[in-house]
C-alpha cells in the first residue's frame, strides 16, 4: 500500500513512524510512505533525515520521502489528511491529483466540518472520517514525542464498511495503532469534539499539560462546565455520543495523555493560528442557533482569539 500523509505535524509524523513498520523489511520501504508538504525547506529536511520518535513507545527513526511536488509521488492508495482544519480545503485540493480508482482519503483531524469539505472535493464515496486519542508533541521538524496511547476509530458518514476501510483498520492494528471501525461517524466525531472542547482551549490559555488540568480545582471546574455545555448541544441535535459518561471520558483522556502538550497549546507556543473556531467555536455557533447558553465556551473562544491577536505583545 502506498500511503501519503498530508501535513508533517505532530500527528502526521507519529502516524508515519508507526506505519513505516509495515514496510521495515521491504527493500523499497521508503517509497511506501510519503509526506506531501507545502513548505519546501521542511520537506527537504524530512526527505534527507527521515523522522524520529521518542517517548512512551521508545525511540526509533524511519526513512520517509517528502516533497512539495505532487508529480514525484504520482498516485496513492491511501491519503491521510493531517493538516489543521483551516487548511483542509487547500491541502485536499493539492492532493486531489493523487487519486486513482480505489484511493481512499482518511481524515484524523480535530474539529467538525473536515469531512464535508473533503467530500466536496473528492466525492463522499472516497472519504473516511476518524478520530484518534493518541498524544503527540512536535519537538522540531521531523521529530515527535509520543506522549499518550489511545484508540483510533474510523468510519463513513453513510455507515458502510467497504473492503478498503477494513484494510486500513488491519494495517493500523498491525503496526500498533489500536483501531476499530464505527458505523456512526457523526457520533464519533462529536464525541472527540467534546474531548477537545474540554482540553485544548484550557491548555492553550493556562499552558498546562493535559494531565494538569484535572489537578487544579479551577481548571477542572471550567473543563467540566465547558464539556457540559457541549453535551447539551449534542443532545439537542440528537447526536448519539459513543461514551456513556462523556465528562468522565474527558478526564480519563487527561490522565491517559497526562504529559501531552495539546495541539492548541503547541500552536500558541509557536505563535500560530489555532483551531479554536473548529472546536469550542462549533459549540458557540451551534448553541446560539439552538438557543442554548454556552457562556464558558464563549469565554474560552474569546480568550484564545485574544491570545492569537496579541502574539506580538506578549512578554
Which residues are catalytic, by number? 192
The conformation of residue 149, written as its DSSP 8-state character, comes to -
Give the CA distances from residue 207 to residues 63, 103, 214, 309, in Å, rounded to whole numbers and listed in that order.
33, 40, 13, 17
3-class secondary structure, 180 = strand
The conformation of residue 7, written as its DSSP 8-state character, comes to -
Nearest to 17 by CA among 80, 60, 47: 60
Cβ 51 vs Cβ 238: under 8 Å? no
Cβ 60 vs Cβ 52: under 8 Å? yes
Residue 122 is placed in which grid cell? 473528492
Separation CA 295–CA 283 (nearest Å) = 10
Amino acid at each position: 500500500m502506498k500511503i501519503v500523509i498530508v501535513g508533517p505535524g505532530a500527528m502526521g509524523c507519529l502516524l508515519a513512524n508507526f506505519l513505516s513498520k509495515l514496510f521495515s523489511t521491504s527493500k523499497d520501504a521508503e517509497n511506501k510512505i510519503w509526506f506531501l508538504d507545502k513548505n519546501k525547506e521542511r520537506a527537504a529536511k524530512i526527505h534527507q533525515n527521515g523522522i524520529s520518535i521518542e517517548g512512551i513507545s521508545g525511540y526509533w527513526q524511519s526513512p520517509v520521502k517528502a516533497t512539495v511536488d505532487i508529480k514525484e509521488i504520482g498516485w496513492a492508495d491511501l491519503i491521510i489528511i493531517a493538516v489543521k482544519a483551516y487548511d483542509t480545503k487547500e491541502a485536499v485540493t493539492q492532493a486531489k491529483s493523487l487519486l486513482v480508482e480505489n484511493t481512499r482519503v482518511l481524515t484524523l483531524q480535530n474539529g467538525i466540518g473536515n469531512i464535508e469539505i473533503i467530500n466536496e472535493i473528492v466525492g463522499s464515496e472516497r472519504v473516511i472520517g476518524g478520530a484518534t486519542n493518541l498524544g503527540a508533541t512536535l519537538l522540531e521538524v521531523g521529530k515527535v514525542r509520543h506522549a499518550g496511547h489511545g484508540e483510533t476509530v474510523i468510519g463513513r458518514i453513510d455507515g458502510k464498511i467497504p473492503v478498503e476501510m477494513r484494510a486500513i483498520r488491519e494495517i493500523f492494528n498491525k503496526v500498533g495503532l489500536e483501531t476499530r471501525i464505527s458505523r456512526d461517524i457523526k457520533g464519533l466525531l462529536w464525541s472527540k469534539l467534546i474531548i477537545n472542547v474540554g482540553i485544548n482551549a484550557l491548555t492553550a490559555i493556562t499552558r498546562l499539560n493535559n494531565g494538569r488540568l484535572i489537578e487544579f480545582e479551577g481548571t477542572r471546574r471550567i473543563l467540566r462546565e465547558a464539556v457540559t455545555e457541549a453535551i447539551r448541544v449534542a443532545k439537542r441535535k440528537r447526536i448519539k455520543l459513543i461514551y456513556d459518561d462523556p465528562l468522565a471520558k474527558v478526564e480519563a483522556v487527561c490522565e491517559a495523555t497526562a504529559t501531552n502538550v495539546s495541539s492548541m497549546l503547541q500552536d500558541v507556543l509557536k505563535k500560530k493560528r489555532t483551531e479554536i473556531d473548529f472546536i469550542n467555536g462549533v459549540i458557540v455557533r451551534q448553541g446560539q442557533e439552538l438557543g442554548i447558553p454556552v457562556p464558558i465556551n464563549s469565554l474560552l473562544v474569546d480568550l484564545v482569539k485574544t491570545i492569537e491577536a496579541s502574539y506580538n505583545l506578549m512578554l
